[in-house]
Amino acid sequence: MKKYLLIIILIFISSYSFGQEIYSISVTDGIITDTLRFGLNPNATNGIDNVLGENELPPPPISDILDVRFSGEDLIPLVPIGEGLNIDLREGNNMTEDTMYHKLKFQWPPLATFLRINCLNIPIGISIKLKDLFKGVLIDTVLSESDSFTITSTGIVALLFDVRYQFPRPVELTSFNSSISGNDVLLNWITSSENNNTGFEIQRKNIQNNIWNSLDFIPGQINSSQNTVYNYTDINLEAGSYNYRLKQIDLNGNFEYFNLTETVRIGSPESFYVSQNYPNPFNPVTKINYNLPTSSHLKISVFDNRGKLVKVLQDGFSASGYYEISIDASELTSGLYYCNFEYGNNTISRKIVVLK
């Protein structure tokens, strides 16, 4: 009984960055149906990545039934089926213009009269050009969304799957910049168009620990063809160097990163400064910001209106930088108090009012 080998190459040309998108096709001879998944992942390699779900399949069935799987061999020469994957991810994302290959091999049953290829979860915006390797003389058709195509000639031994990603980018960003005020960082960005844009997650990384942290989420316009200005202020940063990026998320959960090109550097304060507490009056907690230009001894104390020491909040060495301290007045009665900051040879006092 003669067996035929069918190889499909999936070529991806893309313009939009997904965290990971996996699409599916199914192949059936009317009796057996195999479903295979493919896509792009920034962590994928050209080998088998078990952590991504790629696992080598066992040899084909000993009986002559339909067998379909991805393979890593070259298209030429044709190689016998004996290994493969049911999921094949390639390194990359849809921001690149790279061409990605996914090779699909078939073993036709000897009595098969057709094979049908079905697109399962192919979204709007993706088109698949299905061609034979004879330059489309026998097969030349376009598939999209939930289309299917039936091969009736078992003489077709090789097909070309040309998958093109033609999504418009959900967001066109025209600028993304920052400015510094003291130890606050103001981020500004402008979009010229938005398509299905849920919004932007703002992320910050201290270059010393290299860990991205989520700060806040700014809702987008969903759909817009006008310039939209966004801003966000990251307040009370300690001295250091920081990177920022926007994680733009669309309605389907796909996302794209926009990185601030420059590194933001917060230096040491130029002078000793203590803010007025806020809120004031307060019950039971208030906060005070203060700046220390150099490292030195710092004592923070609370006195009542008669000058009697109520509590010591801090007494010890403190490095230069930007700080915030909370004062809890749960155990204090209503009235006027003084919070003294003794720093080196300098003392600054702030009136605070407890109102219960």
Across the 356 residues of the chain, what is the mean pLDDT of every consecutive 10-residue run? 44 40 88 87 80 85 81 51 76 58 77 90 76 78 89 73 65 94 93 93 92 96 95 91 94 86 90 95 95 93 95 94 93 96 94 95
Helix and strand counts by DSSP (H, E) for the chain:
0, 25
318 alpha carbon, distance to own chain's centre: 37
Among candidates 123, 131, 83, which has minimal Cα distance to 250? 123
pLDDT of residue 282: 96
24 close to 110: Cβ distance less than 8 angstroms? no
- Give the count of beta carbons closer than 10 Å to the beta carbon of residue 82: 12
Distance in angstroms (rounded) separating the CA atoms of residues 212 and 159: 44
289 close to 351: Cβ distance less than 8 angstroms? no
Distance in angstroms (rounded) separating the CA atoms of residues 49 and 41: 11
Query: Domains in the chain and their CATH numbers?
Result: 5-165 (no CATH), 171-266 (2.60.40.10), 273-354 (2.60.40.1930)
Element of type H or E holding 151: strand 148-151
**C-alpha radius of gyration, the chain, whole number:** 32
**Peptide linkage before 279 cis (omega within 30 of 0):** yes
Distance in angstroms (rounded) separating the CA atoms of residues 291 and 268: 8
159 alpha carbon, distance to own chain's centre: 35
pLDDT digits (tens, 9 = 90+) for 146-169: 999 998 877 775 676 676 655 567
Tokens of 125: 């915006």
pLDDT of residue 72: 58
Q: With a threshold of 0.85, does the pTM exceed it?
A: no
Distance in angstroms (rounded) separating the CA atoms of residues 299 and 195: 54
- Largest Cα span, the chain: 105
3-class state of residue 200 by DSSP:
strand
Side chain identity at residue 233, one-letter code: T
First to last CA, the chain: 93
Handedness of CA 87, 91, 97, 99 (dihedral sign): negative
264 close to 185: Cβ distance less than 8 angstroms? yes
Tokens of 6: 């069918």
28 alpha carbon, distance to own chain's centre: 36
200 alpha carbon, distance to own chain's centre: 10
pLDDT of residue 39: 78
Among candidates 5, 16, 25, which has minimal Cα distance to 102? 25
Tracing tokens 């393979």 back to the chain, one arrives at 71
pLDDT of residue 145: 85
Q: Which residues neighbour 205 within 8 Å (Cβ) at sequence distance 6 or greater?
A: 211, 212, 213, 242, 243, 244, 245
Q: What is the DSSP letter of 112?
A: -
pLDDT digits (tens, 9 = 90+) for 62-103: 778 888 888 755 444 444 545 688 898 877 665 544 556 677
